[in-house]
Amino acid sequence: LYPNQGSAVLTSVHWAEGFAVIPEDTTITEGEKVAFYPFARLMA
């Protein structure tokens, strides 16, 4: 997670290429695949 979880959390979107969907209370291990949605595809 981006270290700033306050009202300025949108700052993290500036450097992000998309977002991952991870269900609540789910543990992800390194190398595990997750659903990823690139912003470029969402804006098309």
Look at residue 30 and tell me if it is in a domain.
yes
Q: Whole-structure pTM over 0.75, yes or no?
A: no
C-alpha distances (whole Å) from 34 to each of 10, 37, 39 are 22, 10, 16
Query: Are the beta carbons of 18 and 30 closer than 8 angstroms?
Result: no
Look at residue 2 and tell me if it is in a domain.
no
Please name the residues in contact with 5: beta carbons below 8 A apart, sequence gap of 6 or more: none
Domain tally for the chain? 1
pLDDT digits (tens, 9 = 90+) for 12-30: 677 789 889 998 899 999 9
What local confidence, expressed as pLDDT, does residue 33 receive? 94
Look at residue 1 and tell me if it is in a domain.
no
- Report the C-alpha gap between 39 and 29 in whole angstroms: 24
